[in-house]
Amino acid sequence: MAHVLLGLGANLGDREAALQSVVEAMAAGPFTAIRCSRIYETPPWGVTDQPPFLNAIVAADTALTPSQVLTFAQDCEQAAHRVHDVRWGPRTLDVDVIAYDDMVQDDPALTLPHPLAHVRAFVLVPLLDVEPDFFLRGHGFAVDLRNRLDATGIIPVGELRVP
């Protein structure tokens, strides 16, 4: 079994329902020991002229390969009728593979760990809810990385439920 971290985000439509749909799909599929961070409302990153996001991190164990986890993430986005016309722009659902065990992989389809996780407070703040001692391979401990970033405007607003 591999330990995976998925980053969830949405800023269009029913944002909370979109995030919850991923947790429900994980529970119905080949994922076990599912743990969810709180849901955080976060300011947009990259393209800032857009609505705020809801973000969360889900940790789980799975027998899926990294590419199968990526396919699962893409299937969740498609099921949520993902709208994403601009890089880092508005979207109905975004599911990123943040880490897969401590694997390092530089593949155009899936880079592990996620190449921008270490500079995104909207990833690191919820990550610390589920993995307070997490070491992001190649970058350091998540708590140290988080402490170097501005987390202004990142506010807990809810909870995800594991069915």
- Say what the alpha-carbon torsion angle 24, 52, 47, 67 is, to the nearest 10 degrees: -10
Note whether 77 and 93 are within 8 A (CB): yes
Catalytic residue selected from 35, 38, 61, 82: 82
Give the separation between CA 141 and CA 124, rounded to whole angstroms.
10
Give catalytic status of residue 148 as yes or no: no
Give catalytic status of residue 102 as yes or no: no
* Residue-wise DSSP of 73-98: HHHHHHHTT----STT---S-EEEEE
DSSP 52: P
Neighbours of 83 (CB within 10 A): 14
Give catalytic status of residue 96 as yes or no: yes
Give catalytic status of residue 91 as yes or no: yes
Catalytic residue selected from 91, 107, 129, 146: 91
Return the active site residues. Answer: 82, 91, 94, 96
